Amino acid sequence: MEFVNLKAQYRALKVQIDERIQRVLDHGQYIMGPEVAELEEKLAVFTGAKHCITVASGTEALLISLMAIGLKPGDEVITTPFTFAATAEMIVLLGGKPVFVDIEPDTCNIDASLIEAKITDRTRAIMPVSLYGQCADMDAINVIAKRHGLAVVEDAAQSFGATYKGKKSCNLSTLGCTSFFPSKPLGCYGDGGAIFTNDDALAQACREIRVHGQSVRYTHVRVGVGGRMDTLQCAVVLAKLERFEWEIKQRRRLSERYRELLNALVGVQLLALRKDRDSAWAQYTVFVERRTSIQAVLQAQHIPTAVHYPKPLHQQPAYAAVSRDCGLVASEQAAERVLGLPMSADLSYSQQDRVVAALRVALA
């Protein structure tokens, strides 16, 4: 059993993927080929956002977004410590300061009610992370941002395909950033990512920053990066898009099934799913005690698990010094207890039953 079954996905889509890759090899436009614009158009339609700018990775999407809003050294960005390092990393890389706000203990997403108390004269933006595929309370966050004139950058690396009050993740704030890392809900076969926005000026800025700040070739109107997504990777995502709606439905079906099966187990606490949103189920994460021993029991039966994340960022050496935060108790407790179970559209019911049976044994 695999944590994310990419081989079965390839088998199901082999004809489309091979054909798409071959087409790129035949036309030879490896950088900014026609598949780049085609993918950007399709993803914009999918999310409902006016603009989509594909970039080299999810990390690059965050970096370019923060550059586009003009983040300066000393600026503060409010975010969650319970996330992948890239979220805070790009803030620090630009000389900014991540200001960590604790999470809701039941969803593991940033607690919107704690944000306003952390706003200062130096605050420039709020960066919620749609962790495990479920969006944070974006309406509440947008209201606070509007009141204080702040940008909202959604780290939607794990939530492409999720909805919040009927609207798609990536189209819920000033800028939305996603990742096409192979194991994300919509993945390519290497690195890739995308930025979404409804703001024409920000879209233009992101497009320029992506290609070394060029407005037209060899006219560098600003400082940028080499942040393009390869044509080949765009071709892979285009092929995978054909089945993506089905995959999201399948992930939802599997998560509901996990919920039913695990509800009966003592010693497993399920993540809360808010009524006004649908997760993309990038991960199926539960809370357990004695995590290490449970993982060992599952591993012995060849059932892979994962911990996202074992330490909140304010406790990581690289960020402890820049953050100086305390009182992030919910994040610290979640880091001790979260356990990710195998999840992908191609996980079979019998595999899922095996996972649950092994957990039952491990908890006994």
Ligand X SMILES: *Cc1c(COP(=O)(O)O)cnc(C)c1O
Q: What is the binding site for ligand X (CB under 6 A)?
A: 57-59, 83-84, 86-87, 129, 155, 157-158, 179, 181, 191, 193
**CB 62, CB 177: distance < 8 Å:** yes
End-to-end CA distance of the chain: 23
Among residues 106, 107, 133, 119, which one has the least CA distance to residue 79? 119
* Helix 231-263 × helix 6-27 angle, to 10°: 170
* Helix 231-263 × helix 349-363 angle, to 10°: 50
Among residues 358, 362, 344, which one has the least CA distance to residue 7? 344
Compare residues 84 and 281 and give the one whose CB is closer to ligand X: 84
Q: Dmax of the chain from CA atoms?
A: 66
Q: How far is the CB of 344 from ligand X (least distance, A)?
A: 15
**CB 175, CB 42: distance < 8 Å:** no
Compare residues 181 and 287 and give the one whose CB is closer to ligand X: 181
For 214-269, the DSSP string reads EEETTEE-S---B-PPPHHHHHHHHHHHHHHHHHHHHHHHHHHHHHHHHHT-TTEE
Q: How far is the CB of 155 from ligand X (least distance, A)?
A: 5
Q: How far is the CB of 191 from ligand X (least distance, A)?
A: 6
Q: How far is the CB of 62 from ligand X (least distance, A)?
A: 6
Q: How far is the CB of 61 from ligand X (least distance, A)?
A: 8
Phi and psi at residue 282, in whole multiples of 5°?
-60, -35
Structure tokens that stand for 343 in this block? 């999840």
Q: How far is the CB of 156 from ligand X (least distance, A)?
A: 8
Compare residues 47 and 59 and give the one whose CB is closer to ligand X: 59
Compare residues 248 and 356 and give the one whose CB is closer to ligand X: 248
Enzyme catalytic residues: 184
Cis peptide bond N-terminal to 309, omega within 30: yes
Compare residues 262 and 339 and give the one whose CB is closer to ligand X: 339
Q: Work out whether strand 268-270 and strand 284-288 pair parallel, antiparallel, or are unpaired.
A: antiparallel
Compare residues 132 and 287 and give the one whose CB is closer to ligand X: 132
